[in-house]
Structure 1
């Protein structure tokens, strides 16, 4: 899958959408190598964020939500711990990218 940059403004002021996150293409559009690298890095972070959120959402629905419902029904500390442990496990499996 090729990464793409949703929107960007070229150095000469053109507004572009859905640009391939490729330094060579970005250089041809007038971006400096530093700008191209940052745009590509941001596209990678965005893709990782979307993938992690989708994976988390799926696991929450299939694994954590049933445990939550059990806890709500039983109201025991053990059921609450099982649910919270599952949520923590899912978050550690699919961490969100740093926004630096």
Structure 2
């Protein structure tokens, strides 16, 4: 799977969408080496964030939500702790990238 840039404006002012995050392609479109590197880096960070969120969502639905429902039904501190521990575990497995 190749990484793509959702949208960008070329130095000449042209609006582009779904551009391959490829250094050489970006340079051929008129971006400087520095701009091309930054666009590729940002696209990789965006993909990492999207993948982490999707993975978290899947684990929340399959693992954490059932524990939450048990806690809501039983209302015991032990059930609440199990649910909160599972959420913390999921967040540790799939951390969100640091914001810069």
Q: Given the two structures, how large is their TM-score scaled by the length of structure 1?
A: 0.97
Alpha-carbon distance in 2 for matches of 1:5, 1:98: 20
Alpha-carbon distance in 2 for matches of 1:80, 1:22: 47
4+ residue runs over 3 A deviation: none
Q: Secondary structure at the match of 1:6?
A: strand
Q: How many residues align?
A: 100
Alpha-carbon distance in 2 for matches of 1:25, 1:99: 27
1:14 lines up with 2:17 in the alignment: no
What does residue 35 of structure 1 align with? 35
Gap regions ≥5 residues in structure 2: none
Q: Secondary structure at the match of 1:17?
A: strand
Alpha-carbon distance, 1:99 to partner: 2.2
Alpha-carbon distance in 1 for matches of 2:79, 2:53: 25
Q: Given the two structures, how large is their TM-score scaled by the length of structure 2?
A: 0.97
- For the aligned residue pairs, the C-alpha RMSD in angstroms reads 0.6
